[in-house]
Amino acid sequence: MKIFLNGELVKREDAKITVFDHGLLYGDGVFEGIRSYGGLIFKLKEHLDRLFVSAKAIGLVIPMNEKELADAIIKTLKENSLRDAYIRLVVTRGAGDLGLDPRKCKRPTIFIISDKIALYPEEYYKNGLEIIIANTRRNIKDALNPQIKSLNYLNNILAKIEAIKADAEESIMLSSDGYVAECTGDNIFIIKDGALITPPLDVGVLKGVTRLAVINLAKKEKIAVNEKMIKPVDLYAADECFLTGTAAEIVPVTKIDGKSIGSGGPGGVTLRLLTGFRELTKVDGVRY
Ligand code: PXG
């Protein structure tokens, strides 16, 4: 396996960065998780755009432009002969000293890891996930805006640990004022009376690439979409529920906090959207 590291493709065992990298010392950096399907990189521009938005928000100037990063991703995929891949693109503040001061970091570290995609177990799609609402609240926007896909994922990891302890597959995180925000690595949707509902970005959630693809897919299929505030009680009363993310695609949720959602199995609208989404991944992407 070859890793793209600061402009070069190096062997996995040689892909090393210093312990003084602020990505490691402070979680000071940004990243993207991208996927390719049969030689097509899905929504590459959307991911790169989001990376630059995240970087700008933390005052990090990426020393490569979008075209150069896209070329680097393609080069890495080709070098590893990957057609169906998971791509992790990371940009850190770079090597600095032991203080927080980002000015001490002279050059951002850029790396790209590509690997075979580890698919979610088929039973998740057949039977749906059992998830919980975590006690850990999502970061508040005024502290660390969840729209920044930063290397600082402790907030999400704490909620993930709650899920693991509860023997659940995922955690829903609420905003500080108690509205449904998102899961630890996925956005959330419910279906009520045939309409799709998802929390607005304002609640403090990541602007998921899959989220937007699903919203557009639903509109095309004449399914109403409402971005509005969701309370836990609305979740329990939903007809259907699903999560969206690059790794998950669209995965049904059949139980929340031990309560069955809808019929207790994956819902019809969810499955219809999943079929549509998988069709999209076969045709919509950057070919390499
Ligand atoms: N919310 C959060 C907090 C995320 O980290 C999403 C929503 C979904 O966004 P996208 O753009 O992927 O639709 C994410 C993304 C993994 C993995 O390995 C997680 C993500 C992306 C790719 C892989 O668990 N999370």
Pocket lining: 210 vs ligand 1, CB cutoff 6 Å? yes
Q: Which atom of ligand 1 is nearest to the CA of 205?
A: 1
- Structure confidence at residue 12 (pLDDT): 98
Express each pLDDT in 140-179 by its tens digit: 999 999 999 999 999 999 999 999 999 999 999 999 999 9
Q: 3-class DSSP state for residue 226? A: strand
Whole-model pTM: value is 0.97
Q: How far apart are CA 122 and CA 127, in angstroms?
A: 9
- Is the pLDDT at 61 greater than 90? The verdict is yes
Of 32, 29, 6, nearest to 96 by C-alpha is 29
Does pLDDT of 129 surpass 90?
A: yes
Residue nearest to atom 19 of ligand 1 (CA): 185
The Cα–Cα gap between 103 and 99 comes to 10
pLDDT of residue 96: 98
Distance between CA 90 and CA 30 in Å, rounded? 6
Instruction: Give the confidence band of 68 by pLDDT, cuts at 50, 70, 90.
Output: very high
Residue 126 has pLDDT above 90, yes or no: yes
Compute the residue count for the chain: 288
- Go through the domains of the chain in sequence order and give each one's CATH number: 2-115 (3.30.470.10), 122-280 (3.20.10.10)
Residue 182 binned pLDDT confidence (cut-offs 50, 70, 90): very high
Q: What does the pLDDT look like over 71-122, one tens digit per residue? A: 999 999 999 999 999 999 999 999 999 999 999 999 999 999 999 998 899 9
Q: Is 211 in the pocket of ligand 1 (CB under 6 A)?
A: yes
Per-residue pLDDT tens digits for 40-51 = 999 999 999 999
Q: Is 265 in the pocket of ligand 1 (CB under 6 A)?
A: no
| Percent of the chain predicted with pLDDT > 70 | 100
In sequence order, the 6+-apart residues with CB closer than 8 A to the CB of 213 are 43, 244, 277, 280
**Identified catalytic residue from 11, 78, 106, 149:** 149
pLDDT in tens, 257-271: 999 999 989 999 999
Residues 6+ apart with CB under 8 A from 162: 132, 134, 135, 136, 171
Mean pLDDT of the chain: 97
Which of 108, 70, 109, 73 is CA-nearest to residue 88? Answer: 73
Q: What is the Cα Rg of the chain in Å? A: 19
Q: What is the structure's pLDDT at 119?
A: 87
CB 132 within 8 A of CB 259: no
Query: Which ligand 1 atom lies nearest to the CA of residue 209?
Result: 11
**Coil, strand or helix at 4:** strand
pLDDT, position 118: 87
Q: What integer pLDDT is reported at residue 142 of this predicted model?
A: 96
| Residue 33 Cβ < 6 Å to ligand 1 | yes
User: Euclidean distance between the first and final Cα of the chain, in Å?
Assistant: 18
Whether the CB of 187 sits within 6 Å of ligand 1: yes
User: In this structure, are residues 32 and 110 in contact, taking their beta carbons and an 8 Å threshold?
Assistant: no
* Three-point CA angle 24, 140, 213, nearest 5°: 85
Q: Determine the atom of ligand 1 nearest the C-alpha atom of 34.
A: 22
- List, for residues 7-20, the tens digit of each pLDDT value: 999 999 999 999 99
